[in-house]
Amino acid sequence: MEVSTARNDLRQHVTAVGTVHLALGDSAYELVATPAGDGRLSLSFHDDTNGDGTAPWRTVTTGVVERDQSVLVDFNRTVNLPFAFTAYGTCPAPIPGNRLGLPVTAGEKKVQ
C-alpha cells in the first residue's frame, strides 16, 4: 500500500502587509492583506456563498492604497483562483479569520 504525505517543500508562504478594516451591513470585519503589486492589496476571503454559488474561497484586488491609508475594495472584481477551474490547481487559502459573515454575491461565481 502506498501512502502519500504532504511535502514541506511544496508549502507556499505569503507575507501579510497589513489589515483592511471593512464596515459591511451592521458588522465590522478585518481582513489580512497581502501585496498585489503597484500599491494594491490582495484580500483572500471566505463568505456565506462559498460552496453554493461561489468557489470555496475567492480573492479581490483592491485599489491603490491612498496616502491616508484608505483603500477601495470593489467586490464586483472578486475572482476565483485557478483551483476553482481544475482539480490540479493549487492556491493559498485565506488565513483563518479572513471570513465575511455575510454573502458576497458580487464578482465571479462558481464554475458550473
* pLDDT per position as a tens digit, 45-62: 999 999 889 999 999 999
Q: Burial level of 12, CB count in 10 A (0-12/13-18/19+)?
A: exposed
* pLDDT per position as a tens digit, 68-80: 999 999 999 999 9
Three-state DSSP class for residue 24: strand
18 Ramachandran zone, left/alpha/beta (phi>0; psi -120 to 50): left
Best CA proximity match to 38, nearest among 4, 19, 61: 61
Query: What is each CA distance from 41 to 38, 45, 52, 71, in whole angstroms?
Result: 9, 13, 26, 9
% residues pLDDT > 90 (the chain): 67
- Residue 77 · residue 3 · CB < 8 Å: no
- Tens digits of pLDDT across the chain (112 residues): 444 455 566 666 778 999 999 999 899 999 999 999 999 999 999 999 998 899 999 999 999 999 999 999 999 999 999 888 888 887 888 988 999 999 999 999 987 7
